[in-house]
Amino acid sequence: MINNRYEKLVSVIIPTYNSQETIELCLNSIKRQTHSQIEIIVVDNHSRDETVEIAKRYGRVYLKGPERCVQRNFGAREAKGKYLLFIDSDMELSPRVIDKCIKKMEKHKLGGIIIPEISIGKGYWARCKALERICYHGDDAIEAARFFTRETFFKVNGYDENLVAADDWDLSQRVKKSGFSIGRISCLIKHHEGTLSLVRTMKKKYLYGQTISRYIKKHRNEIRKQFNPLRRAYFKNWKKLAKDPFHTLGFIVMKLCEFGAGGAGFIKSKWGR
């Protein structure tokens, strides 16, 4: 049961690892929120840079690993808020995100809320990724909730600590299957990609492919929509893609490479050594 003085408290939980380049921007965006009742909880996986020193100036810092799902669940258990917001250390909140989430959740009695993201980065591939992310706005198959009531989060047992990939999709699916509704707001999160390379994104998808089997077993009915290379979102946003053919071409190349890398990782997890 939530203490009355925590009735409007929002606990923002951030897993970190060697995040000194972006963590201060992230934490400052939380401090600039129009909603004032916020606690910041940083759960760091033993960073070797200045992440912990920076984070200590803004909120409580804990050391915990080895993966972000473990870090998030640990942070949730330490949290005092009625509401839980999970973000990454390279994310920047627009000033009214938390206020809008609370109002939306209380008005419609929701269990979770999707906050749309836009990508910010340097270089050609980062701009291709930004174009891709815009296509997903409003697509429930791709976007996942990251703002929850405390009650909802613990009722579904939080993040699955056996997942490395698709953990956010998994949580959203379990929230919906438990009878809670998920809504969305229009305020944005900026996702700072840095200088994104094609090789880097392929390595990430390869790793995810190696660990995706558990998610597939849990949510077979959602796989076709989420892993379909010809997603409805692309056709729905064809005008946006047509206006920027230079980056649309790169976006197509990037997706083909990502699907190939993810598939290779999946095959290795099944039949490789």
Strands 112-114 and 145-149: antiparallel
For residues 33 and 48, what is the distance between their CA atoms, to the nearest angstrom? 29
What average pLDDT values come out for the chain (273 residues) when binned by 10 residues?
70 98 97 97 97 96 94 98 97 98 95 96 95 90 94 96 90 94 96 93 92 85 76 88 96 95 90 65
What per-residue confidence (pLDDT) applies to 153? 97
Please state the domain count of the chain. 1
Provide the domain limits for residue 70.
4-271
pTM of the model: 0.92
What per-residue confidence (pLDDT) applies to 165? 84
Distances (CA, A) of 64 to 17, 19, 162: 10, 15, 16
Buried b (16+ CB within 10 A) or exposed e, 206-243: bebbbbbebbeebbeebeeebbeeebebbeebeeebee
Cis peptide before 66 (omega within 30 of 0): yes
Looking at residue 179, the DSSP 8-state letter turns out to be T
Q: What is the CATH number of the domain that holds 68?
A: 3.90.550.10
